A and B are shown apart, each in its own frame.
Chain A
């Protein structure tokens, strides 16, 4: 099988460029080699692999909005690691990425699972009647939400930034079928 990398033609091309001493030619020979068959095959493999990887396995996300402050900055960048929940289920306290219509995802923390009873009383989150310790939250709040039971196959999601009014904060229960993965960091 013909070699697809470090082919004699490429080596010769770089050698010729080095002999000229021109940095421009060296860079061109390295980054844009002649459109030899081996280079085109390698390029196709790289493009297909990158597309599969960044489309289905590790999706790049730009964070807009500060609902996860201080854990994630308002204009941050993160990757969604899709295999995170291929063989396991989210747990309380996990940060998850959920699909929110075409082309948009939301980043939230799981605070309760199906069957759990959730409520907010003067900003304190209670799950199954017990107040939860949440060292990760930003600011104090006066959120009040009557107790409700999380439906089957749903996750109860809340952002870490509780300094914003409850009405403007997107949170609540969401079906597990919208689960995309977990942030990589």
Chain B
């Protein structure tokens, strides 16, 4: 086979495309603080979600795994509910997660529109969260909230430190 100019051109285009894809993949997945924080949200979403019924031991393990994503203590402030603003220990969080997930047959927690501002060892994240699922009493739930969360750096990772929850659209 004789290598012509057109072959070199096609090869160059393919190499450029492959190089661009590799660079884009690396750029998207490189371990910046923002990407590590996004990963923390993905982990939270994955752990909190529930596809089918699960056993008590498995549920307790999941609740404990979720609690390890939080600082000890963590503050959760829900607009209109003053009693929730007390700091929660990891044990409190695990217990609340266990009780909360037990109400659902299936549950999905997703985070969108994530905006991250990192300042030293603290990060402020603005985002929306959707909690959806089937309750044990047969009802279907879909709740959307606007959240502001701070995370603190802990070694090479980040842990949730505080949450402010409010309606995404407020009258």
Residues facing B in A98-153 (CB within 8 A) are 98-102, 104, 106, 145
Give the contacting residue for A173; candidates B6, B129, B170; CB below 8 A: B170
Q: Do B171 and A102 touch (CB < 8 A)?
A: no
- Overall SS of chain B's interface: strand
Q: Do B6 and A1 touch (CB < 8 A)?
A: yes
Q: Is B29 in contact with chain A by the CB < 8 A criterion? A: no
Min CB distance A4 to B, Å, is: 13
Q: What size tier do the contact residues of chain B reach? A: 10 to 19
Chain B binder among A14-22, A50-58, A77-85, A174-182: A174-182
Q: Is A171 in contact with chain B by the CB < 8 A criterion? A: yes
Q: Do B167 and A172 touch (CB < 8 A)?
A: yes
Q: Do A172 and B171 touch (CB < 8 A)?
A: yes
Q: Do B126 and A177 touch (CB < 8 A)?
A: yes
Min CB distance B102 to A, Å, is: 24
Q: Is B128 in contact with chain A by the CB < 8 A criterion? A: yes
Q: Is A170 in contact with chain B by the CB < 8 A criterion? A: yes
Set of chain A residues within 8 Å of B115, measured between Cβ atoms: 177
Set of chain B residues within 8 Å of A1, measured between Cβ atoms: 6
Q: Is A26 in contact with chain B by the CB < 8 A criterion? A: no
Set of chain A residues within 8 Å of B113, measured between Cβ atoms: 99, 177-178
Tell whether A102 pairs with B168 under 8 Å between CB atoms, given A1-B6, A177-B126, A178-B128: no
Q: In the complex, A173→B130 CA distance in Å?
A: 18
Q: Is A68 in contact with chain B by the CB < 8 A criterion? A: no
Q: Do A157 and B169 touch (CB < 8 A)?
A: yes
Q: In the complex, A98→B169 CA distance in Å?
A: 10
Quick one: CB contact mask for B139-162 with A, threshold 8 Å, 1 for yes?
000101010000000000000000
Q: Do B128 and A101 touch (CB < 8 A)?
A: yes
Tell whether A101 pairs with B112 under 8 Å between CB atoms, given A1-B6, A177-B126, A178-B128: yes
Give the contacting residue for B146; candidates A106, A157, A171, A175; CB below 8 A: A175
Give the contacting residue for A170; candidates B128, B130, B146, B169; CB below 8 A: B169
Quick one: CB contact mask for B99-115 with A, threshold 8 Å, 1 for yes?
00000000000101101
Q: Do A102 and B110 touch (CB < 8 A)?
A: yes
Tell whether A99 pairs with B167 under 8 Å between CB atoms, given A175-B146, A178-B113: no
* Given A100-B144, A172-B169, A173-B169, 15 more pairs with CB closer than 8 A: A1-B6, A99-B128, A100-B168, A101-B110, A101-B144, A102-B110, A102-B112, A102-B130, A104-B144, A145-B171, A166-B171, A171-B171, A173-B170, A178-B128, A178-B168
Q: Can you sample 19 A-B contacts with CB below 8 Å?
A: A1-B6, A100-B168, A100-B169, A101-B110, A101-B142, A101-B144, A102-B112, A106-B169, A157-B169, A166-B171, A171-B169, A172-B167, A172-B169, A172-B170, A174-B168, A174-B170, A177-B115, A177-B126, A178-B128
